[in-house]
Structure 1
Amino acid sequence: MTPPTGTQTDPSHRLAGLAAFQPEQLFRAIFEQAAVGIALIETTTGRFLRVNQQYFEIVGLSRDDMTATTFMAITHPDDLQTDLNNMEALKAGRIRDFCMEKRLFRSDGSVVWVDLTVSPLWELGEQPSFHIAVVQDISERKRAEQNLATLNDTLEQRIAQRTRELEESRQQLQAIVDGTSDAVFVKDLDGRYLLLNRAVEQFGGKCQDEVIGRDDRFIFPPADAQAVIEADRTVMAGGVTRTYEDIVTTADGVQRSFLSTKGPLFDGQGRVTGLFGISRDITERKQAEDTLRRLNETLEQRVAERTEALQVSEHFRKEVLDSLSAYVAVLDASGLIVAVNRVWERAALLNDPSGLARVSIGANYLQVCERAAGNNSEARRTLAGIGEVLAGRTDVFETEYLCAWPGHQQWFSMRVTPLGNRGGCVIAHEDITDRKCSEEALRDSYQRLQVLSREVQVAKEQERSRLSRELHDEFGQVLSGLKFDLIGIASVSAKNRAGSADVVRTRVMRALGMVDSLFGSLRGMVSALRPSLLDELGLVPALESLVTDIQERSGLCCRVVTDRVNYQACCGIEVESAIYRIVQELLSNVTRHAKATVATITLSCGEGRAMIIVQDDGCGFRADKVPSKGRFGLRGIRERVELLGGTVDIQSRPGQTTVTVWLLLEAPSTSNGVAVRSRLPVSATARKKRRHG
């Protein structure tokens, strides 16, 4: 078949009734004024032969460009194969027409979505020649579908249980859109059909041959038909194209909604000769809109319920915050106070009676701290700690500070923790004034205990010294006199008779032996109470004597390193006794356990403290694994040192063990400022004069 041109008439017998309406003008009017794009295409090559203005506007090409290209060239590659498959089926006679949605390239390279309807212009059994392609721009609908999909995603996130219903609704709407086809028809002035396509047949349930020459009363129920006829008359009377929605009952007895575009047909003189129309079934879209409206109403109800639940949750959170005794404030990521508890509000009112302007909700807590910090390093450190938590660089920040309260001062403990993943933090200030007072009282009690312990130590050393003198002066003198008497008796008895003299002499000698033994015990007791060398010579000579004695007994090479004069002058009686006992115990441990060959005792003093370092080259040990044995073991040394306000440090490894002891030369002051001072050492000569008068 050849395409219609300006010098040919349509040979189709179906248009016989249009002969009076100048078929070429009728075709041109339908072709040019249609609200959809219409093109006449050569089937075998796909080349455009004739295209109406709406088609030009859809693809953005000129008439010359359109006639120089093919529908394949402007079809999107993803849709081309489907289009070609449909054309093959059409040419093979397997289908009589087809509809599809596809994308076309515009002249500027952009893509436009169209709904395509293709109808052949050859009869069954004839060679394929030409076909009509009707396209309608559905880009807006596609964007609406995209918006609908976006809304669907939002609904999925907010209402999980509605996800499946929304997805089913979207799929249903998609299926409806994909299956949509348009009804195209032409009527005369009396409303009789002159031309119609297969979509009209499907809606009306009548074939073309039955409908041609009849009006809508042959297809639709009387009331629907009359409404359609009146609408057609209005369009023709107005002389302009109109697009509107109407509702008709189709052949299956169902009322369906249509979006119809109808316009008048004019003859060469501009007179209205009839009407053309294109109607699209939008029933499913209307149903989808109703469903979406109901879903929106449901969503609004759910949002209202959720809002009410959040309000209840907010009230509960407020009650929990208000029940806390700490001063609690919640900050957002920028440092603004977004919530406080009742304790905080009362404290803020107490500090700012004019309206809580400084530290209430809405104030920037970081700026408040910045103004209050000034050059205070501790306040600056606190401000930096809050910033670290807000920045997510630390999980918690804690500090204690003294705050000036109206009329007094209070201690607070601040704890800053992050507020989940939303940013911000929670700041809690706990009043620890009572705890601080208790700690201060405990420290004061401990200092008093140290003072009392030092006094006890002094008294004990004094008592030992007194006992040592008494034993030496009184008991020793008596024993000495006894010994001299026994010696005299022995010498006198030696001059008398031989027999009795032997007996007396034997007894006297036994008594002398007992006296000598008693002298040894007396010297041991005196040394145990307080080494006499401490009183006679002082600390350093006493230590040197101790070292010499140990070296002779054990073979351990020992030496004492110190500034004899300065060290002797700085130690009081209780300190020098403690130092002597500590060194004595440490050297005893070295000889018994260390397997050492060399031991060094280093003594020094300064800044109110005495330092003792005992170092050996023995096998070493683990200080935390050594059990406490005896009164003067390592544990006893620690206790003695702690009573004097000192410290003990032990570093040990194979080949070298170092014990460092620090002792206070003066007792720590109590809360009332009283301190027990160490007594300066007394020279040996002065001690002898004091003992013997």
Structure 2
Amino acid sequence: MIFRSKDRRLKWLILLIPTLTIGLWEYIRHTFLLPYLSMDLGNFLAPFIVLVVTLTVVRGLFGRLEQSQQALQREKESNASLEERERLARELHDGISQSLFLLAVKLDQLDEQVVEGPVKPLAEGLRETVRVMHEDVRQAIANLKQPPSPAEAAWVAPMRELLGETAGIAEATAEFNWSIPEGSLTDKEKIELHACVREAIINVRKHAKASRVFVNGEKEGENGFRCTVEDDGVGFAADPLQAQGRFGLRIVRDRAQAMGWTFVAERRGSRTVVELRKLDKEGVYAR
């Protein structure tokens, strides 16, 4: 609402200033300059005066109007993103989270009825799996309700902290190298890149059994970037995007494709690498 009111004032000023300039010039000319300027010279100077005012004052107003429009567009994008995250959080809570809770209750009942036999360890394993999944869903809901801020300190720092937590849990060493300029990414790109890196790190924590984990982010070209999450863990037994019951890397791939980024998950020597890349404006990778 504030942006719209400001835009209306700027538009009226842009429309009125040339007219007011001509009116003021004519008043000054006829009141003070008529003995010194001929009518023809005054008429000749009028369009140049309007041009000078347009190139200075009106041009500045156009710049402010453009900035206001960009700020309004960013606000709309941010609000749309927040609404979508809130919707996803509600769906996770009302759907998957509740179903996992009921499944955990039923597994507890099964565990109480089975005293011994091969079903006992199977039930305990299933219960632990459901517990971990339920915690993951609850964490996802919490993250959706508290989206990362576009500010660098608020969206890069959580990735560094999560990497440190992952290294602590896995008793691994971690390296975090980040040189992507904060101003080179849009707010939406920051949110999506944060989500992708976070999912890749969690995937390492769950499955890699790594002793070293690396997160690297670097700028490529004028508008591009390259971001990798690497580890020296067990790697992929097969195509990770086809593995049953594993959705982390598929989520990363889908997010990357939706943003127009490239996605690669592969084994490179002794390391498993998940790579996200954005092309620069020429459509080629920087070298």
By percentage of residues, which structure has more helix?
2
TM-score (norm 2): 0.45
Query: TM-score scaled to structure 1, two decimals?
Result: 0.20
Larger Rg: 1
